[in-house]
């Protein structure tokens, strides 16, 4: 089955065949494959997105891509570690190669990774801001956590904590995000629920997930 790629904004009107002819296909790495690729890397990283949501729910589902969060301040180390790969900036419906010597464009928040033009995309790197030893939520820097507290390690693989995962997913609230949230809700620890409720009040007031945080436990 052909993978459904995560689309840059503005390209939702393209059918899948047309989109892949323009941008190429996705074949995201599994978390264990990411761990092997980044083993010994001199920067912090965490599996994010759908894979992290599945871990929070304790149930697997099909994943279109593989999101990995890294700190923006570690970008040069990330680029050096992945020097054998091509990194591209997706932004507002466009893709630009981040070549050696190029600077990250203003407002860029992610990088797509593939081996070369004949290979599928394997990683979507989410570039995450930090202030000293505190992680910052990119849309509201008053929402923060110690960097040491944003993740959890399972089977040797670091994942973002459920509360952080679902704060990211809350903005778009696609059907798959609602499904991920519903599956994970009964498993969410109380401290994750409290933190997510407060963060939603700040970033997405009135969000429908806010009031159901306490209906399962």
Q: Give tens-digit pLDDT for 90-133.
A: 888 788 999 988 999 888 899 999 999 999 999 999 999 999 99
Which residues touch 62 (CB under 8 Å, ≥6 apart)?
A: none
For the chain, the structural domain boundaries read: 16-162
Mean pLDDT of the chain: 88
Q: What percent of the chain has pLDDT over 90?
A: 65
- Going by pLDDT thresholds of 50, 70 and 90, the confidence category of residue 65 is confident
CB of 164 within 8 A of CB of 145?
yes
Model-wide pTM > 0.95: no
Q: 20 or 171: which carries more pLDDT confidence? A: 171
Task: Please check the confidence at residue 3 and state whether its pLDDT lies above 60.
Answer: no
Per-residue pLDDT, averaged over 40-53, amounts to: 94
The reply to whether CATH 3.30.460 applies to domain 16-162 is yes
- Residue 141: what pLDDT? 96
**Tens digit of pLDDT for each residue in 177-189?**
898 899 899 989 9
| pLDDT higher than 60, residue 216 | no
Residues 52, 31: Cα–Cα separation, whole Å: 9
């Amino acid at each position: 089955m052909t993978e459904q790629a995560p689309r840059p904004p503005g390209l939702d009107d393209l059918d899948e065949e047309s989109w892949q002819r323009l941008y190429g296909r996705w074949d995201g790495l599994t978390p264990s494959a990411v761990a092997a690729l980044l083993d010994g890397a001199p920067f912090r990283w965490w599996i994010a997105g759908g894979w992290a949501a599945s871990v929070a729910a304790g149930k697997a589902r099909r994943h279109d891509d593989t999101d990995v969060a890294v700190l923006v301040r570690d970008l040069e180390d990330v680029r050096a570690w992945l020097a054998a790969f091509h990194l591209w900036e997706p932004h507002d419906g466009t893709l630009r190669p981040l070549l050696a010597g190029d600077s990250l464009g203003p407002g860029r928040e992610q990088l797509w990774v593939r081996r070369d033009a004949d290979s599928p995309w394997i990683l979507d790197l989410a570039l995450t801001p930090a202030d000293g030893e505190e992680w910052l939520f990119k849309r509201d820097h008053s929402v923060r956590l110690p960097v040491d507290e944003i993740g959890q390690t399972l089977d040797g693989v670091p994942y973002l904590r459920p509360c952080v995962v679902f704060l990211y997913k809350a903005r778009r609230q696609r059907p798959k995000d609602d499904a991920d949230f519903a599956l994970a809700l009964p498993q969410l620890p109380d401290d994750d629920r409290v933190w997510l409720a407060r963060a939603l009040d700040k970033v997405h007031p009135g969000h429908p997930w806010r009031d159901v945080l306490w209906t399962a436990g």
